Amino acid sequence: MKYLPLIWRNLLRRKVRTIFTLASVFIAFVLYSFLMVVQTAFSMGVDMAGADRLMMMHKTGLIQLLPISYQQQIGSTPGVTHVSNASWFGGTYQDKANQFAVIAVGNNYFELYPEAKIPEDQLKAWLGDRQGAIVGRASAEKFGWKIGDKVPIQATIWQPKQGQTWFFNVDAIYDGERDFDKTNFFFHYEYLDENRRAAYGMVGWYVMRIDDPSHAAEIGGRLDSQFLNSSAETKTSTEKAFLQGFVNQVGNIKAMIIAILTAVLFTLFLLVLANTMAQAVRERTSELAVLKTLGFSNPLILTLVLGESMLLAIIGGGLGLAATYFAVGRGSFNNALLPVFIMRNRDFVTGLVLCCVLGVVAGSLPAITAMRLRITDALRRT
């Protein structure tokens, strides 16, 4: 640590070079953060899926519906503690472009999703209002909805008995952790079923909680075999597997992000930083020789050069990470398409580690060159 001032002084000697190197490293880590944010957004909450929640849908796919009568049978299956239903409604608000998830759910749906934070009195109001809706904070802010507002939603799939528009009362606004989707719009399944023109008594999917996550496969298998050879055969999976399947449909986003990231880190970070360090060592050849003459050991010289490289990496990279963290931190870029547009703490920490590692990698060649310098050669060279 006592050599930190020396390293710092060295950095200040070529201010222009230091600044542009820092800027390049900074941008590299802004990009790293941005790519991680995109990846988080595309992973659609797979990481936070409840291990004790199962999803059941029609065997041929989500567009086929299941009878509401299944709910009771599921509920009485050993191992299942809670069960509720949900149906995709579609729907748009005002403009066709304003699409967000509108979902009709059973009354006890939120018992299964404690992640959605709803004030007690608001939830109660919703339960007592047939036409009530619970909306996410992000959507409420975006469209300026307040408790008590009457909101018209244009039908896309389910048309009401009259006209094209459904009306709901905003009874509650739910909130949640940073990485919880806060754009959804929930309303009562009963209201949907009473007022649509077709498909009475059908729901989209069932969600259930089980008493022991390690029995998930067994309980799922038991449930599916119950409905085998019925009018609607089922497919039950953990919520995680369900979401992962959905993510996989988009394609291998992760591989793509890693490919881009490699290109970014190599060209903006390693190359520029390594070049800067190589130049610095070349410039200071005679000086390093003097230090060695003064008795600086080889490992110490190595450490000094590596330290300089790491310092550049950590300052530039750290600032880049912090800048993105705060820029997207408030969730201001949230939209219904990619509802969770945030940077996870995990990615922040990984970023810092990456900074240090790449700082060492970039500095290693110049540092070894510096260490191996023979005093006599180095002093003669200038």
Partner 1 sequence: MLRWFGQTLAVAALSVRTIPQRLSSSAVAVVGIAGVVIVFVAVLSIGEGFRAAMSNAGSPSRAVVLRGGADSEMTSGFGGDQATIMTEAPGLKRVDNRALASPELYVMVDVNKRSTGTAANVPLRGIEPVALQVRDEAHIVEGRMFQFGTNEAIVGRSATRQFSGVGLGSEYVAGNLRIKIVGVFDTGGTASETEIWCDSRLVQAVYQRGNSYQSLLASLDSPASFETFKNWLTTNPQLNVQVRRETEFYEQQSQVMTGLIRGIGYTIAVLMGIGAVFGAILTMYTAVSTRTREIATLRALGFNTTSVLISVLAESLALAAIGGLIGGLAAYLAFNGYQTSTMNFQTFSQVAFAFAVTRSLLIQGLSYALIMGLIGGLLPAIKAARLPIATALREL
Binder among 10, 276, 309, 334 for partner 1 (CB under 8 A): 276
Kindly state whether residue 260 participates in binding partner 1, applying the rule CB under 8 A: yes
Please select the residue that binds partner 1; options are 7, 11, 30, 223, rule is CB under 8 A: 30
Min dist CB 179 to partner 1, Å, is 19
CB of 169 within 8 A of CB of 132?
yes
In the complex, least distance from residue 59 CB atom to partner 1, rounded to whole angstroms: 4
Q: Contacting partner 1 (CB under 8 A), which of 77, 122, 131, 154?
A: 154
Candidates 59-67, 113-121, 181-189, 286-294; binding stretch for partner 1 (CB under 8 A): 59-67
Query: What is the DSSP code string of 122-187?
Result: HHHHHHT-TTEEEEEHHHHHHHT--TT-EEEEE-SSS-BSSSSEEEEEEEEEEB--TTS----EEE
Asked if 96 is part of the footprint of partner 1 (rule: CB under 8 A), the reply reads yes
Q: Which of 161, 249, 295, 299 binds partner 1 (CB under 8 A)?
A: 249
In the complex with partner 1, the residue whose CB is nearer, 112 or 277, is 277
Q: Which of 264, 291, 321, 328 binds partner 1 (CB under 8 A)?
A: 264
Q: Which amino acid is at 109?
A: Y
| Structure tokens belonging to residue 196 | 């649509």
Non-local CB neighbours of 344 within 8 Å, separated by 6+ positions: 36, 40, 179
Q: Is 5 helix (H, G, I), strand (E, B) or coil?
A: helix
Non-local (6+) Cβ contacts of 41 within 8 A are 338, 339, 340, 341
CA distance to 37, 243, 322, 326, per residue, from 343 (Å): 5, 20, 10, 9
**Residue 65 CB: number of other CB atoms within 10 A?**
17
Bridge-partner residues for 85, per DSSP? 206
* 162 contacts partner 1 (rule: CB under 8 A): no
Q: Does 64 bind partner 1 (CB under 8 A)?
A: yes
First to last CA, the chain: 31
List, in sequence order, every residue forming a beta bridge with 202; answer none if it has no partner. Answer: 67
Is there binding between residue 286 and partner 1 (CB under 8 A)?
no
Task: Indicate which single residue of 3, 20, 200, 326 sits in contact with partner 1 (rule: CB under 8 A).
Answer: 20
CB 174 within 8 A of CB 116: yes
Number of residues that bind partner 1 (CB under 8 A): 52
| 128 sits near partner 1 (criterion: CB under 8 A) | no
The yes or no reply on residue 77 touching partner 1 (CB under 8 A) is no
Q: Per CB under 8 A, does 245 bind partner 1?
A: yes
Distance CA 41, CA 119 (A): 27
252 binds partner 1 (CB under 8 A): yes
Q: Which of 1, 12, 16, 353 binds partner 1 (CB under 8 A)?
A: 16
Contacts 24+ apart (CB under 8 A), 69-78: 69/201, 70/206, 70/227, 70/232, 70/234, 71/106, 71/203, 71/206, 73/226, 74/206, 74/208, 74/223, 75/208, 77/219, 77/222, 77/223, 77/226, 78/219, 78/222
Q: Point out which span in 4-12, 121-129, 268-276, 372-380 binds partner 1 (CB under 8 A).
A: 268-276
Part of the chain binding partner 1 (CB under 8 A), chosen from 13-21, 110-118, 209-217, 358-366: 13-21
* Nearest-approach distance from CB 51 to partner 1, in angstroms: 19
Asked if 31 touches partner 1 (CB under 8 A), the answer is: yes
Please report whether residue 193 would count as binding partner 1 according to CB under 8 A.
no
Candidates 71, 73, 92, 131: give the one binding partner 1 (CB under 8 A). Answer: 92
The binding site for partner 1 (CB under 8 A) comprises: 16-17, 20-21, 23-24, 27-28, 30-31, 34-35, 38, 58-64, 90, 92, 96, 154-157, 159, 164, 232-233, 244-245, 248-252, 260, 263-264, 266-268, 271-272, 275-276, 278-279, 337-338
